[in-house]
Structure 1
């Protein structure tokens, strides 16, 4: 009888407390339903001398139970904290991974902004330094300052020129709203210097980015979250996309900050009509495929990307950010259960494709 494929999911844990436990539970169950022995583990669960892993699986009635598992044939990396123990394990060569290590946000943005295939979609972005905010405000009416290693809308500031005033609004590391107004770019620069010092996330840098007018609804920021994933044949395919509409007066659209999830086609069609919406959606898909392809060429095998996409008031498409370990809750919050289920299943489908393909390649090499 054929043995089950063994699939590990590397993630952060403390005791039996996991990051993103709801998604990880669904991912393990999806693996089980597809016939794979699937479990979670962290850097402290590797027993090299025994070639065994302490793995965790959902327990009946909730929570997690652990037991020893054989060495995984492939590992999906969902570890989102860049602690040294994780980094050491990630680069140890002990495992075959479905997704390669990625780089810091600034380096990725810099790479994409210079690549001929994708640079037309990337807003101007600079690494924060003294004077950079003032320089960008001389070029654009809206400027964003954001952490290069941030998530969930934390520590992001929007600066908008209105008449002779500069309005500053954002959310701090605890997602509390902050607002201020200044009469000069120099005053804004001084305020941002303090913000960068106080709201830094770990040891990360800040970025200064050309702002986009994404107020497709007056006084509300809207952006698009697009998920592109490898399917069971190992090919890139857009799983779905949705619009995140920020609260009234907020500088961000993130769902963590009170934003709401809305159908892309329905929302965009209200502004641009059905035909233009179809063209915008087509361009978003083209951009996603191009970005996925050039990033995979640069970093090695990847399996999914979440793209934050801006559609400005003129209908122009922009790439705001790329996340190699994206969430998929937007589909659940939109009520699109089918896309949400597919977004969970696809990493497992792709992993099983890799295990099967690599197994056949090994068999050819060994002649078995």
Structure 2
């Protein structure tokens, strides 16, 4: 019997408390079904000199059990906190990772906005600075202010021109709703300045972005989540798509902020008709493939991306955001359980593909060294 492939999943851990435990439990169980020896570990579990790792796997009745595991052939990085210990590990050559380190939203936006393959899909975006709101509001009736290192829809502010006034709405770090109605651009500048100061995460910056009319459903913000992943053959493939619809009057569509999910194709068909809908769907998938291959050119080997795509009321497709460590709950919420299961399996399938490929590349080298 051939030995099992050994796959590690790097994540944050404190005691037996893990980041995103429900997903990681499903990921390990999916890997076990695929025949891998697979486990979770964090930076404090690595014993490099002895080449062994204290890993964790789910217990049948809940919770986790730990033991010593062999050194992983491939590591899937799901660490979502940029602590120094994690950064040092990522910059070392201890492991062979399935996915390369990524960058902050602003640098990613800059790269994509300049690249001929994808720039047509990128809304105008700038680093936040004083007077930037005034210039953007002079060009667009809707502007978004969002953290360059945030997630889950937190601290995003929507600023809309309504007649001679400006309506502001957003959710803070605790998802509390804030609103204001102001009568001048100067008042908006002051209000946004306070928001940025209060909502800043560590040393992160804020971005000011061209707003898009994503009101396909009146009084709601809706966007498309497209999950593109490497498959068992190492090729990019769109796993699935779903639409997230924000609460009435909300500035974002995020599920964490009270949004709900609906299937992608029926909504697009209801908004644009069955003749135009296939074109819009194809463009969303084309965008996903072009962005994934472009970012891989810049950052090295990647494994998956969750793309937030805006389809405006005219059917124009826009890239809002890219997440290299995406969630996949949207598929469970819309009842596409086969897609949800595939979205969980694919990272392990790709890691197994990498492990096999590495072995095949190393085999001739071993033969040469043996003098055969």
Calculate the TM-score normalised by the size of structure 2. 0.98
Taking the aligned partners of 1:286 and 1:306, their CA distance within structure 2 comes to 14
Structure 1: which 4+ aligned runs deviate by more than 2 Å?
none
Is the CA contact 1:232–1:349 (under 8 Å) kept in the aligned structure 2? yes
Is the CA contact 1:308–1:319 (under 8 Å) kept in the aligned structure 2? yes
Whether 1:339 aligns to 2:339 is yes
Partner of 1:277: 277
Task: Summarize the alignment of residues 99-114 of structure 1 with structure 2, pairs less than 5 Å apart.
Answer: 99-114=99-114
Partner of 1:350: 350
Per-residue CA deviation, residues 235-268 of structure 1 (Å, 9 max, x unaligned), is 0000000000111111110000111100001111
Partner of 1:313: 313
Taking the aligned partners of 2:14 and 2:288, their CA distance within structure 1 comes to 35
* Structure 1 position 202, deviation (Å): 2.3
Partner of 1:20: 20
Partner of 1:2: 2
Taking the aligned partners of 1:316 and 1:264, their CA distance within structure 2 comes to 16
Taking the aligned partners of 2:243 and 2:7, their CA distance within structure 1 comes to 33
* Structure 1 position 44, deviation (Å): 0.5
* Structure 1 position 147, deviation (Å): 0.3
Partner of 2:243: 243
Per-residue CA deviation, residues 157-180 of structure 1 (Å, 9 max, x unaligned), is 000001100000000000000000
Partner of 1:304: 304
Taking the aligned partners of 1:308 and 1:230, their CA distance within structure 2 comes to 18
RMSD of the TM alignment (CA)?
0.7
Task: Summarize the alignment of residues 216-255 of structure 1 with structure 2, pairs less than 5 Å apart.
Answer: 216-255=216-255
Partner of 2:80: 80
Per-residue CA deviation, residues 297-352 of structure 1 (Å, 9 max, x unaligned), is 11000010000000000000000000000000000011110000000000011110
Partner of 2:198: 198
Partner of 1:366: 366
* Secondary structure, aligned partner of 1:97: coil
* Secondary structure, aligned partner of 2:101: coil
Per-residue CA deviation, residues 120-172 of structure 1 (Å, 9 max, x unaligned), is 00000001111111111111000000001111110000000011000000000
Is the CA contact 1:216–1:271 (under 8 Å) kept in the aligned structure 2? yes
Taking the aligned partners of 2:151 and 2:274, their CA distance within structure 1 comes to 33
May I ask how many residue pairs the two structures share in their alignment?
Answer: 368
* Structure 1 position 60, deviation (Å): 1.9
Taking the aligned partners of 2:279 and 2:367, their CA distance within structure 1 comes to 50
Taking the aligned partners of 1:61 and 1:256, their CA distance within structure 2 comes to 27
Taking the aligned partners of 1:308 and 1:65, their CA distance within structure 2 comes to 36
* Secondary structure, aligned partner of 1:38: strand
Is the CA contact 1:173–1:201 (under 8 Å) kept in the aligned structure 2? no
Task: Summarize the alignment of residues 65-214 of structure 1 with structure 2, pairs less than 5 Å apart.
Answer: 65-214=65-214
Taking the aligned partners of 2:9 and 2:273, their CA distance within structure 1 comes to 43
Whether 1:290 aligns to 2:290 is yes
Taking the aligned partners of 1:122 and 1:171, their CA distance within structure 2 comes to 24
Calculate the TM-score normalised by the size of structure 1. 0.99
* Secondary structure, aligned partner of 1:154: coil
Taking the aligned partners of 2:300 and 2:275, their CA distance within structure 1 comes to 37
Partner of 1:36: 36
Taking the aligned partners of 1:263 and 1:367, their CA distance within structure 2 comes to 52
Taking the aligned partners of 1:367 and 1:133, their CA distance within structure 2 comes to 64
Taking the aligned partners of 1:255 and 1:268, their CA distance within structure 2 comes to 19
Taking the aligned partners of 1:266 and 1:188, their CA distance within structure 2 comes to 38
* Structure 1 position 219, deviation (Å): 0.7
* Structure 1 position 270, deviation (Å): 1.1
- Structure 2 spans left out of the alignment, 5+ residues: none
